[in-house]
A and B are shown apart, each in its own frame.
Chain A
Amino acid sequence: MLFIEVKGKKIETNEEGFLINHEDWAKEVAVLLAKEEEGVEALTEDHWAVINYIRNYYLEKNLAPMVRKICKTTGFQLKYIYELFPSGPAKGACKVAGLPKPDGCV
């Protein structure tokens, strides 16, 4: 089993850094995942807008939102989303937001 450690608490992840239990997520977890997995040193307000939207959508629907919805809600262009999260919405934004790894070609 693999773990990351946040504030002295061990949090289980899979081999690709996705959280095993999404309830383990906290802002500090996002900060660490962004740094270790995405190379993002400091999360900006724009990062948080994307993260919070994805996370709330997932908690409500048990599903990651389509990138169209992320763009529409945050008002960001698609290109900007890819700039904020270089690994893209799945392996970048969804991972930092504490979602499990999506099915499919990702």
Chain B
Amino acid sequence: MDNETEKKDPFEEKIDQLKTEDLKKALQVFREKIHSEYAAYFNSCVHCGLCADSCHYYLTDRNIQSMPAYKLNLAAGIFKRYFSFTGKKIPGWIGAKKFNHSIVREWVDSLFGRCTLCGRCSLNCSVGLNITYLIRTARSALASIGLVPPGLQSTVNTALEKGNNMGIPREDWIETVEWLEEELQSEVGDKNARLPLDLKGARLFYTVNPREPMFFPLSISAVGKIFYAAGESWTFSSDNYDVTNYGLYSGDDEAAGVMSDRLVKSMKNLGCKTLVLAECGHGFNSNRWEAPEWLSKKYNFEVKSILEIVADYILQGRIKLDPSLNPDPVTLHDPCNLVRLGGIVEEQRFILKHALTQFIEMTPNREKNFCCGGGGGQLAMTRFSKRRLEAGRVKADQIRDTGAKVVAAPCHNCIDQLMELNKHYKLGVKIKTVCEIVADALVIKKREKS
């Protein structure tokens, strides 16, 4: 493909046309979101450089702009210039920078384009700075003046306007559930097997990532089969079922709140006891941890990952698995938002060890695992896709080193990036959700009655 530059990119034009009041607005939003604890972070980086080798961007491009400390400093320089005494009086002394078009351009390029908000730099920071939060806050400032890169912004917009992030019409979602229900019935040989929709008073409300019904429904079938085997009381919802929340990535807390509140509405409407989040890393982090903050309210129901539910089934003997049905060597990818930032670490390991014969850990793993490169909205921001694939080399090498034939990935966003890495780096692996692997190992007893 050729490169040409005669037509200006509309997003770049938007930056060119920023007015003084736009810049002021962004600064104001930035200031409002920096509480004292975070303001202290801006003054605390000791420039030790340990974060550099923790970042998959820096490890693959060795570019100073990819260093977490550099990215932090881009945001810190602005904070100091406008909101600290020394920065206002003698900015040059402390690296305080003026907020102008060229800094905005650099913020977009580095804070959106060279970061997946994976949190690995924060984990490796020698003084414990939450670099990830600060970068997201700078994204919030850019979001307030309409500078979220296209693709990421359009995914937020689609979710806000259409009720789910792929714009699936209501009847198409319902028809897909009915279709998958028929498939389940024929698979388990029981015409009473159900994928219930809007079943009021069910114990669990199960959410999905729109990517599943739209293009990759096998993960839904797998969960339906597990629920069937466990004899669970559960339901889908025909409205407000989307587990994703791209507001987490764009930095737009208001939009994020609207999306998470939809699941709260479904819980209320259905009267379920537990909100169960699909295998979706950022959806888990958003709805388990961040949403009560965005909405300023305490949830009066339980929020769990489907992995916690399935681990309980195994523990309680509610499902029976035959590991010999999954004979290929399997490795596990730890999605950042589910594991490092979400706290779901051992459940998936416990499940897999009961569902297959050869389990191989990646190195490093658990909370120290590397990002796949697809998080932080990178999959949606096409303009940075070459960089995303290059940064994914760290993950590709990790996978190759295990020699595994299957990668279990409890996150649909990671799965899409892993599929691209598989193709680009010729890994020759299959990529599955944890529940798909469990479903393949299920031993289903014939029902006396349903």
Partners in one complex: yes
Map CB proximity to A onto B195-217 as digits: 1 under 8 Å, 0 otherwise: 00000000000000111011111
> What are 20 A-B pairs at a CB distance below 8 A?
A1-B6, A2-B3, A3-B1, A15-B384, A67-B214, A67-B215, A68-B176, A78-B218, A87-B423, A88-B215, A89-B215, A90-B214, A91-B416, A102-B214, A103-B151, A103-B155, A104-B211, A104-B244, A105-B211, A105-B280
B166 at the interface (CB under 8 A from A): yes
Which B residues are CB-close (under 8 A) to A13?
1
In Å, the complex CA distance between A91 and B176 comes to: 20
Task: Kindly list the 8 A-B residue pairs having the minimum CB-CB distance in the complex, ordered from nearest.
Answer: A104-B166, A103-B155, A89-B215, A105-B413, A103-B158, A15-B385, A2-B1, A104-B165
**CA distance in complex: A78, B155 (Å):** 26
B165 touches A3 (CB 8 A): no
Other A-B pairs, 15, CB within 8 Å; known A1-B3, A14-B382: A3-B2, A63-B169, A66-B214, A67-B217, A68-B172, A68-B176, A78-B218, A87-B419, A89-B214, A91-B416, A101-B151, A103-B151, A103-B154, A103-B158, A106-B416
- In angstroms, how far is the closest chain A Cβ from the Cβ of B115? 18
Scan B408-425; emit 1 where CB is below 8 A from any A CB, else 0.
000011001001100100
Complex Cα gap A69–B175 (Å): 9
State A91–B385 Cα separation when bound (angstroms).
Answer: 13
Separation of A86 and B209 alpha carbons in the complex (Å): 21
Binary per-residue interface labels of chain A (3-46) against chain B in the complex, 1 for a CB within 8 Å, 0 otherwise: 11100001001111010000000000000000000000000000
Asked if B168 contacts A66 (CB within 8 A), the reply is yes
Interface size on B, residues (CB 8 A): 44
Q: B162-177 CB contact bits vs A (8 Å, 1 = yes)?
A: 0001111100100110
Tell me if B401 is interfacial: C-beta within 8 Å of chain A: no
Contact assessment for B4 and A104 in the assembled complex, using a CB-CB cutoff below 8 Å:
no
Contact check: which of B168, B175, B215, B218 meets A106 at CB < 8 Å?
B215
Q: Does B383 interact with chain A (Cβ within 8 Å)?
A: yes
Could you tell me the distance between the alpha carbons of A100 and B151 in the complex, rounded to whole angstroms? 11
Distance in angstroms from B192 CB to nearest chain A CB is 22
**Other-chain contact of B244, A14, A18, A87, A105 (Cβ < 8 Å):** A105
Give the number of residues in A that approach B within 8 Å (Cβ atoms): 31
Q: Which residues of A contact B169 (CB under 8 A)?
A: 63
Which residues of chain B in 360-393 are interfacial with respect to chain A, using CB atoms and an 8 Å cutoff?
Answer: 379-380, 382-386
Contact bitstring B1-37, A, C-beta under 8 A = 1, else 0: 1111111000000000000000000000000000000
B289 close to A (CB within 8 Å): no
- List residues of B whose CB falls within 8 A of some A CB: 1-7, 151, 154-155, 158, 165-169, 172, 175-176, 179, 209-211, 213-218, 244, 280, 379-380, 382-386, 412-413, 416, 419-420, 423
Nearest CB on A from B35, distance (A): 31
Take A16-B385, A87-B423 as given contacts and tell me if A105 and B176 are in contact as well, using a CB distance cutoff of 8 Å: no
B423: A residues at CB distance < 8 A:
86-87
B217 touches A78 (CB 8 A): yes
Q: Determine whether the beta carbon of B214 is less than 8 Å from that of A104.
A: yes
Q: How far is the CB of B252 from chain A (nearest CB, A)?
A: 15
Say yes or no: A15-B244 contact (C-beta < 8 A), given A88-B215, A104-B165: no
Inter-chain contact B179/A101, CB cutoff 8 Å: no
Query: A106, B211: Cβ atoms under 8 Å?
Result: yes
Q: Which residues of B contact A5 (CB under 8 A)?
A: 2
**Assembly CA distance A91 to B215 (angstroms):** 10
> How many Å lie between the Cα of A62 and that of B390 in the bound state?
32
Given A68-B176, A104-B166, A105-B412, A88 contacting B3 (CB threshold 8 A) = no
Report Cα–Cα, A102/B2, bound state, in Å. Answer: 24
A88-B413 in contact (CB<8A): no
Bound Cα distance from A41 to B4, whole angstroms? 28
